[in-house]
Amino acid sequence: MSGFSPEFLWGVSTSALQIEGAFDTDGRGPSVWDGHTAKDGTDARVATGHYDRYREDVALLAGLGVDAYRFSLSWTRVQPSGTGAVNQRGLDFYDRLVDELAAHGITPVPTLFHWDTPSTLSWQDRDTADRFAEYAAIVADRLGDRVPRWITINEPAEVTLLGHAIGEHAPGLKLVFDALPVAHHLLLGHGKAVRALRAAGADQIGVAMSHTPVWTAGDTDEDRFAADLYDGIMNHLFADPVLTGRYPEGFAEAMPGPVDDDLAVIASPVDWYGINYYNPSLVGAPKPGEASYAGIDLPPDLPFELHDIPGYPHTAFDWPVVPDGLRELLVSLRDRYGDRLPPVVITENGCSYDDPVDDTRRIEYLDGHIRAVAAAMSEGVDVRGYFVWSLLDNWEWAEGFRQRFGLVHVDYDTLKRTPKASYAWYRDHIRAAKA
């Protein structure tokens, strides 16, 4: 496939809680997800056993031929209480992982926070942003000599909305719009972590934001208002402060603390901007009755309603497959932010299917979305990399083991890894792109 330079970064992504397991191995402390039971009755205590099998998993990465591996660190494996004393044995694990990646010529791209908040802390509290910056400095001091790229926070929108507004994810709070201070503190933590990483000598720092094109479900003023509000919450509430130093109109008044001073920290410059994309959102005015979407019960008084998108194939997660939505999203972000948008990296893109090994539908999905990236680049969007979610089938948060996103199949009873057809396809695609 044409359009990609030899310097374009090809990779895969995972997160600590979803694959590591080993809750009680090395002094790791509890996160808000510990003991959280998913819809299938499972938890992440074992996950895919990556902690003990990391060398096997790095060998799978090497077999793919990826340039980079995006993983996350467990905050409580590094600081069991989320603050104070450092757990050297936990840091040792990530030290070994980074060395193993380097030995295979794979660039480590660690994410400092991927949803697993220490159980002793809360993003409702401003102090957590400072604790996060201290943790960032600890990790950078240990790993910074071998890590050229960093991600501060993954998907603050989901942490705010799913974890604190509607209670679908840990910590399970249902604050609805009273969750907005959580968004502010997450963004403040990001900005403080950027400054901590800079102080440690890092010069390639990004953030991983989830974004979705928002389509209007109806033709009324109420539908357009609902879609615009949802667009503001899911996209601009998080991107605007980081890229422009301002909140969208009407949001700053809902935020705690010295907002203008905080925004100066939040807007600490990043070197690249990570985008996680899965599908567009079809949004309209709410209708009376119980609200739900994709199996998630929503508060009945939300000022918008999400609709299924007809006319497209759907994944096992019942998410519509709309590759051109990624092109649309990239172009719209470029148009909105202009020169304020730094180079973009697709930090997550992938799909859940039940096909054990012969996963032709995943190949079609990835091929379509990579072509959408190339199309956006042909329209002038500066995209520098693409990471598939995910290397392995894993524990998928509230869904448990029911959704399989991996290029590699994992038998959850034996933890045996078996590369799928999509693994071979992505390997061959990377080789061809670099030829």
Question: CATH number of the domain that 244 lies in?
Answer: 3.20.20.80
84's tokens: 């104070």
Give mean pLDDT, residues 19-23. 98
Q: What's the pLDDT score for residue 396?
A: 98
Q: How far apart are CA 266 and CA 293, in angstroms?
A: 31
Q: Using alpha carbons only, what angle is made at residue 377 by residues 375 and 380, rounded to the nearest 5 degrees?
A: 120
Band (pLDDT 50/70/90 cuts) for residue 3 is confident
**pTM, two decimal places:** 0.97
Domain that holds residue 248: 9-434
Residue 158 bears catalytic tag? no
Catalytic residue (one of 100, 155, 305, 328): 155
417's tokens: 């890894």
For residue 328, tell me if it sits in a domain: yes
pLDDT at 293 over 80: no
DSSP-derived 3-state class of residue 102? helix
Q: Which residues of 58-95 are buried (b: 16+ CB within 10 A; e: fewer)?
A: bebbbebbbbbbbbbbbbbbbbbebbeeebeebbebbe
Does 397 belong to an annotated binding site?
yes
Residue 253 bears catalytic tag? no
- Give percent above pLDDT 90 in the chain: 94
For residue 1, tell me if it sits in a domain: no
pLDDT at 299 over 90: no
Q: How far apart are CA 425 and CA 409, in angstroms?
A: 15
Catalytic residue (one of 20, 100, 328, 348): 348
Number of independent structural domains in the chain: 1
Does 18 belong to an annotated binding site?
yes
- Cβ contact 11:109 at 8 Å: yes
- Cβ contact 123:178 at 8 Å: no
For residue 2, tell me if it sits in a domain: no
For residue 3, tell me if it sits in a domain: no
Does 75 belong to an annotated binding site?
no
DSSP-derived 3-state class of residue 126? coil
Does 319 belong to an annotated binding site?
no
pLDDT at 402 over 60: yes
